[in-house]
């Protein structure tokens, strides 16, 4: 008899616990400040999906058999920094892709021998990408690296000069990696191999841990961690994975799906067709994934090309989703460098929502505070953001 009342009060206690648990679950992010640090199971899973701890080792690069050869990477690294590979002896890859600036530069348009038509892209985490350039006109990393060498406004040289420069300055390491003297090989083969060495180096550029990653890690043991992100940053993160839907495109540990979208960036002159014209260039090159100099097995590799959606009209005016890691440290933004601050990027997302320019973004419901909070959150994705500002 004595056990009964005890039992029923226990049952009531359990019921109450279950009830309050349900209240928390059904009201995960209604905005009450008291709930700020309470994450739902879904939010927790999305946060983990963005964490660097989820970044797998880089996938293989079947079209470049030297991709993971350390000697090829060392050769590529030397050429990456060598300004003799340019028409005026002053431009190297590192001129535009500056290590001290997140491997991009602070200009609206890349500046080499002349002015490029788009902004220099940050090149961290390239090993995880399938398409390269803002319009994805290169289908493999080594094929991409050959573009700037022969581009008259970037390095401004040609493949014959590349062969001469390799022979003059890198004859021995070249022979070591490619098991043949660059004099014995056709100029196109030396050119392709130079690209493969450059790609082997670029593949080694990987993101650094940020305050966001520390937070994601801490959440695994304490789902209410409060010491690493400020309140504004926490609200921004909740918006990013929820109401603001940023995660639809900026997803995975690199904060990009690697795909092409209309995001409503205003033109700063002639409209840029973006992905719309890239398919033609893809077909035209013999340095592509299925080209003459590729190491890929045409039967087994290259699904990204085989199953490519080539609907040109659909892709006019779309650009590759950039990574957001480190973004707060390296303005300007977008393919044409048209915005000088993150606040401008975010304001534009809200302003263009629903317009035909930006049929894929719907951020019209974001308040001013939401935009500030999102900007605060983006700041946690920079590796030098390790001070806690609470
Ligand atoms: C004059 C400045 C400049 C130089 C020099 C330069 N780049 Fe770039 N890089 C850019 C610009 C601008 C883009 C975007 C171009 C576009 O989309 O049309 C880009 C894009 C890239 C990308 C694509 C990134 C992505 O996410 O798709 C990679 C990789 C890259 N460059 C590597 C290199 C390498 C390797 C070199 C040296 C061989 C080099 N770049 C030289 C300005 C430069
Ligand atoms: C439909 C896909 C999509 C969605 C949703 C989206 N983005 Fe983007 N984002 C892009 C694309 C594509 C670009 C590049 C556009 C360009 O170059 O013109 C971009 C660029 C950016 C940039 C500039 C980065 C740089 O290096 O230039 C920032 C910052 C950014 N987005 C943040 C956000 C935030 C925050 C949200 C949520 C409010 C969001 N994005 C939602 C696709 C998207």
| CATH for 160 | 1.10.760.10
**The last residue of a domain, from among 186, 202, 218:** 202
Quote the ligand 1 centre to 28 CA distance (angstroms): 43
Q: In which band, very low, low, confident or very high, does the pLDDT at 37 lie, cut at 50, 70 and 90?
A: confident
Select from 356, 270, 277, 349 the least CA-distant residue to 310.
Answer: 277
pLDDT, position 281: 85
The verdict on residue 312 lying in a domain is no
Q: Which domain range does residue 162 map to?
A: 70-202
| Binding-site residues for heme c | 93, 96-97, 246, 249-250
**Is 361 in the same domain as 231?**
yes
Residue 147 has pLDDT above 80, yes or no: yes
Q: Which atom of ligand 2 is nearest to the CA of 366?
A: 38
Strand, helix or coil at 372?
helix
The residue nearest atom 40 of ligand 2, judged by CA position, is 246
**Is 228 in the same domain as 340?**
yes
**Is 102 in the same domain as 183?**
yes
Report whether residue 321 contacts ligand 2, using a CB cutoff of 6 Å. yes
pLDDT, position 384: 65
Residue 329 has pLDDT above 90, yes or no: yes
pLDDT, position 182: 87
**Is 46 in the same domain as 89?**
no
Distance CA 203, CA 197 (A): 10
The verdict on residue 327 lying in a domain is yes
Q: What pLDDT, in 10s, does the model give residues 86-125?
A: 999 999 999 999 999 999 999 999 999 999 999 999 999 9
Ligand index nearest the alpha carbon of residue 155:
1
Residue 295 has pLDDT above 70, yes or no: yes
Quote the ligand 1 centre to 29 CA distance (angstroms): 41
pLDDT, position 10: 41
**The last residue of a domain, from among 148, 174, 202:** 202
**Is 138 in the same domain as 40?**
no
310-315 mean pLDDT = 90
Please report, rounded to a whole number, the percentage of residues in the chain having pLDDT higher than 90: 77
Residue 215 has pLDDT above 90, yes or no: yes
Report whether residue 75 contacts ligand 1, using a CB cutoff of 6 Å. no
Report whether residue 104 contacts ligand 2, using a CB cutoff of 6 Å. no
Strand, helix or coil at 274?
strand
pLDDT, position 22: 38
Distance CA 289, CA 307 (A): 14
Write down the pTM of the prediction: 0.91
6-20 mean pLDDT = 39
The verdict on residue 267 lying in a domain is yes
Distance CA 390, CA 201 (A): 39
Number of domains in the chain: 2
The residue nearest atom 39 of ligand 2, judged by CA position, is 246
- At residue 229, φ and ψ (nearest 5 deg) are -105, 150
CB 342 within 8 A of CB 306: no
Residue 15 has pLDDT above 50, yes or no: no
Strand, helix or coil at 307?
coil
């Amino acid at each position: 008899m004595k056990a009964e009342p005890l039992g029923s009060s226990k049952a009531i206690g359990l019921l109450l616990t279950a009830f309050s648990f349900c209240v928390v679950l059904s009201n995960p992010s209604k905005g009450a400040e008291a709930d700020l640090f309470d994450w739902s199971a879904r939010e927790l899973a999305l946060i983990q999906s963005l964490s660097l701890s989820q970044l797998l080792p880089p996938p293989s690069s079947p079209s470049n058999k030297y991709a993971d050869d350390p000697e090829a990477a060392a050769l590529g690294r030397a050429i990456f920094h060598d300004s003799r590979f340019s028409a005026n002896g002053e431009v190297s890859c590192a001129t535009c892709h500056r290590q001290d600036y997140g491997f991009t530069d602070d200009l609206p348009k890349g500046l080499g021998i002349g002015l490029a038509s788009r902004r220099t892209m940050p090149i961290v985490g390239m090993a995880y990408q399938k398409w390269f350039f803002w319009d994805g006109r290169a289908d493999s990393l080594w094929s991409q690296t050959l573009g700037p060498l022969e581009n008259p406004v970037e390095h401004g040289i040609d493949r014959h000069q590349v062969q001469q420069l390799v022979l003059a300055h890198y004859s021995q390491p070249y022979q070591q990696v490619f098991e043949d003297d660059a004099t014995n090989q056709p100029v196109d083969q030396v050119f392709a191999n130079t690209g493969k060495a450059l790609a082997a180096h670029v593949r080694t550029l990987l993101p650094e841990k940020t305050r966001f990653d520390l937070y994601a890690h801490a959440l695994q043991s304490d789902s209410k961690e409060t010491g690493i992100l400020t309140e504004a940053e926490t609200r921004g993160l909740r918006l990013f994975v929820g109401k603001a839907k940023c995660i639809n495109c900026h997803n995975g540990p690199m904060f990009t799906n690697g795909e092409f979208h209309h995001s409503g960036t205003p033109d700063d002159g002639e409209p840029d067709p973006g992905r719309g014209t890239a398919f033609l260039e893809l077909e035209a090159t013999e340095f592509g994934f299925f080209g003459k100099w590729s190491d890929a097995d045409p039967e087994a590799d290259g699904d990204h090309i085989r199953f490519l959606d080539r609907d040109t009209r659909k892709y006019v005016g779309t650009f590759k989703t950039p990574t957001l890691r480190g973004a707060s440290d390296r303005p300007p933004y977008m393919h044409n460098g048209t915005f000088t601050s993150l606040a401008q990027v975010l304001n534009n997302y809200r302003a263009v929502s629903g317009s035909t320019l930006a049929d894929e973004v719907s951020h019209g419901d974001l308040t001013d505070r939401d935009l500030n909070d999102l900007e605060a959150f983006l700041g946690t994705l920079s590796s030098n953001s390790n001070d806690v500002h609470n």
